[in-house]
A and B are shown apart, each in its own frame.
Chain A
Amino acid sequence: DIQMTQSPSTLSASVGDRVTITCRASQSVSSLLAWYQQKPGKAPKLLIYKASSLESGVPSRFSGSGSGTEFTLTISSLQPDDFATYYCQQYNSYSTFGQGTRLEIK
């Protein structure tokens, strides 16, 4: 199995901050990586696919980059609605999710 490791596990930030979440794969997944946002009691929401492609309807303050084994999700200017848990997911070999990064208000 390909293991996905996110860092940090928890991130405290303020509205307007620029934040970056990192996701590392135990072996190369090429660009076959997605990012999701999940709020408490809700289903996950797709933000980014193929490492850097923005899903339709997702605000442009979200961006993704990387390939191979290291990826990042960046939120350029945090909005109140962005405080949530974020997951990366590789889909190069079957599929596995990272353990999640909880983004909380500082």
Chain B
Amino acid sequence: EVQLVQSGAEVKKPGESLKISCKGSGYSFTSYWIGWVRQMPGKGLEWMGIIYPGESDTRYSPSFQGQVTISADKSISTAYLQWNSLKASDTAMYYCARGSYYMDVWGKGTTVTVSS
């Protein structure tokens, strides 16, 4: 079964760093792009960016460029989304999903709460 398993919920303070993960299984992890999508509380979906784990080729939405870092470790079939300094406005659900642009397999999401 193709699946993406995301890391657990996080509660952080403003200014802290964070790295959340997304582990793929049941398919060739290095052959498909992985994307990240944000959903703020009660709001819609926002495409953040994608990575091709086979080559670490990364593309960012202009809205998220410089705000987050997307990376991957192909040796353990895992993609990451990272913040260096969290803000309260980063509070959201973050989904990883397989696909370069349209996304056919989704993780269950990681809730990130940033509060002082």
- A residues bordering B, Cβ < 8 Å? 1, 32, 34, 36, 38, 42-46, 49-50, 55, 87, 89, 91, 94-100
CA distance A16 to B52 in the complex (A): 42
Instruction: Count residues on chain B whose CB falls below 8 Å from chain A CBs.
Output: 21
The reply on B46 being an interface residue by CB < 8 A is yes
CA distance A50 to B99 in the complex (A): 13
Where chain A touches its partner, the secondary structure class is: loop
Q: Name the residue on A nearest B60 (C-beta).
A: A94
- Of the candidate stretches B23-31, B72-80, B81-89, B103-111, the one touching chain A is B103-111
Establish whether residues A49 and B44, one from each chain, have CB atoms under 8 Å apart when the complex forms. no
The answer to whether A89 and B44 touch (CB under 8 A), given A94-B61, A94-B62, is: no
Establish whether residues B104 and A97, one from each chain, have CB atoms under 8 Å apart when the complex forms. no
Across the A-B interface, how many residue pairs have beta carbons closer than 8 Å?
56
Residues of B within 8 A of A95 (CB): 35, 47, 61, 101
- B residues bordering A, Cβ < 8 Å? 35, 37, 44-47, 59, 61-63, 95, 97, 100-104, 106-109
Which of B44, B61, B95 lies at the interface centre, i.e. has the most chain A CB atoms within 10 A of its CB? B44
The answer to whether A89 and B104 touch (CB under 8 A), given A1-B62, A94-B61, is: no
Establish whether residues B45 and A49, one from each chain, have CB atoms under 8 Å apart when the complex forms. no
Establish whether residues A43 and B47, one from each chain, have CB atoms under 8 Å apart when the complex forms. no
Q: Name the residue on B nearest A99 (C-beta).
A: B44
Establish whether residues B62 and A91, one from each chain, have CB atoms under 8 Å apart when the complex forms. no
Residues of A within 8 A of B44 (CB): 87, 97-100
Of the candidates B59, B102, B106, which one forms a contact with A43 in the assembled complex, judged by CB atoms under 8 Å apart? B106
CA distance A38 to B106 in the complex (A): 11
Residues of A within 8 A of B61 (CB): 94-96
CB distance from B113 to the nearest CB of A (A): 16
The answer to whether A46 and B104 touch (CB under 8 A), given A94-B61, A97-B46, is: yes
CA distance A44 to B4 in the complex (A): 13
CB distance from B99 to the nearest CB of A (A): 8
